[in-house]
């Protein structure tokens, strides 16, 4: 069974640009969450999607957005990139409907560097 796939693995962008990251969840998983990991702030929740609807949102500016498609694949977009957006972005999928104690399975992440 394939795991969570995130593309691309590495990305370098310039300040002011926008970027789109992609996440393909484990087959059958309908919940997809996104996290930002930085040395200073640690792992922070961005948002969660379930059946193409955003169900939870973290405390990030509106420059961070996401969406989920009917096949559960998800994308997140960051517009007007800032140096502080440099981070490892992790996607996690869960088998929704099994209760909140269901574990999340993480992808390897996309390392975004803003220069």
Q: According to the binding rule CB under 8 A, does residue 12 interact with another protein?
A: no
Q: According to the binding rule CB under 8 A, does residue 68 interact with another protein?
A: no
Q: According to the binding rule CB under 8 A, does residue 43 interact with another protein?
A: yes
Q: What angle do CA 66, 61, 63 make, to 5 degrees?
A: 50
Closer to another protein by CB, 24 or 31: give it: 31
The span from the CA of 67 to the CA of 113, in Å, is: 22
Q: According to the binding rule CB under 8 A, does residue 90 interact with another protein?
A: yes
**In the beta sheet, which residues pair with residue 31?**
50, 94
Q: According to the binding rule CB under 8 A, does residue 107 interact with another protein?
A: yes
């Amino acid at each position: 069974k394939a795991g969570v796939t995130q593309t691309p693995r590495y990305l370098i962008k310039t300040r002011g640009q926008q970027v789109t990251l992609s996440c393909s969840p484990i087959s059958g998983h309908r919940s997809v969450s996104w996290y930002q990991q930085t040395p200073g702030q640690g792992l922070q929740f961005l948002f969660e999607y379930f059946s193409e609807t955003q169900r939870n949102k973290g405390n990030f500016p509106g420059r961070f957005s996401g969406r989920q498609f009917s096949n559960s694949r998800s994308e997140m977009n960051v517009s007007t990139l800032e140096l502080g957006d440099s981070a490892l972005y992790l996607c996690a999928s869960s088998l929704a409907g099994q209760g909140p104690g269901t574990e999340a399975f993480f992808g390897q992440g996309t390392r975004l560097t803003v220069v």
